[in-house]
Structures are given as C-alpha cells and as structure tokens.
Amino acid sequence: RQRDRQYLWSFVSSHRTLVRSRLVRALMATPQLVPSFVAWNAMHNFSRILCSSHLALAPSGNSPDTWRAVEAMDCGAIPVMDAPAREYYSRWLPRALTAHFWELNASSDASLTLSIRTLVDKVKNRSHLDASRVALANAYEQWQRELQSTIRSRLDALAVKVTI
C-alpha cells in the first residue's frame, strides 16, 4: 500500500453522470492536481490505476453508494467524494473511518471552486498527503478487524442456536 504512486488522483468509470463529469472537469482544469488519470470505459486497468493513485475520485453514480470508496481504501488511496456520497457513508461506516474521506462540494460553482482550493492546499505537502493515507489505512484496517470480529461472534451465536 505504501509503494510509490504514479498518479495524484484518478477516476475510471464507464458510467457518466452530471456530478461525475463536473467533478472530473474541475479537477482536470486545476494544474496543481497533476499527474492524474481519467478514463471513461477503461475498466480493464481499473485496479492497477486505482492502486497507483494517492486519491481516488469516488462521486455518486446513480445513487450516493459507490463501491469505489471501498476499492480505494483497499488500494490505500483516499476516497474523494461529493457531499451526498460522503453523507451516505457517514451513516453506515464508523466516524473513525469516514473522518479520513475527502469531500468536493459540487452544489454550486462557488462551493466547488472553494473545495478544489482546499484540495490543492491538502496535497501541496506530500508528507501531509502520505500521513493522511497512512491514517486512513490504519482506520480501515481497524474497522476490518472489528467487522470480522462482529461477524465471527454473530456466526458463533447462530451456531449455538442451531445445535440446541
């Protein structure tokens, strides 16, 4: 997970929405946010590209839920979401994990511009960026351990009920 990353951010998808297109255009128009990788319909390289990125754009698709957030964490990339996606994940995942997600607010041109400026400030310092990725990776690993323990306990409880 801590290997060198070829891309600052990436987004690979075969599904376009207004929000996704708007966020991609805004990020691509920001010279401080390179190198990046964007491809519509290049799914065969998805995992390699995602795991070569510091940040993974994970905006809402047809709904706020997107697998890309979990796939990003599996690769050690920080998910960057629009507000609805971040709000969705904040309801279902622990705060200790979602606190490490980054957000781009696309509700207006002004809010998107401000969000892009904030993102640029966050990535200027690569040691801060790396520390943010490590903090997310640690929180993700802790959540996975807790989830596995919960599942194991529930399965054990079911086994006891079945044998009675």
Query: Consecutive sets of 10 residues in the chain, 164 residues long: mean pLDDT of each?
Result: 78 85 92 88 78 92 83 95 92 94 93 95 92 96 94 86 60
What is the chain's length? 164
Q: Which amino acid is at 2?
A: Q
pLDDT given at position 61: 82
E strands, the chain, are 7-13, 36-40, 53-57, 78-82, 102-104
Query: Which residue in 66, 61, 56 sits closest to 100, CA to CA?
Result: 56
**Residue 97 near residue 143 (C-beta atoms within 8 A):** yes
pTM for this prediction:
0.88
Predicted local distance difference test score (pLDDT) of residue 62: 78
pLDDT at position 4 is 79
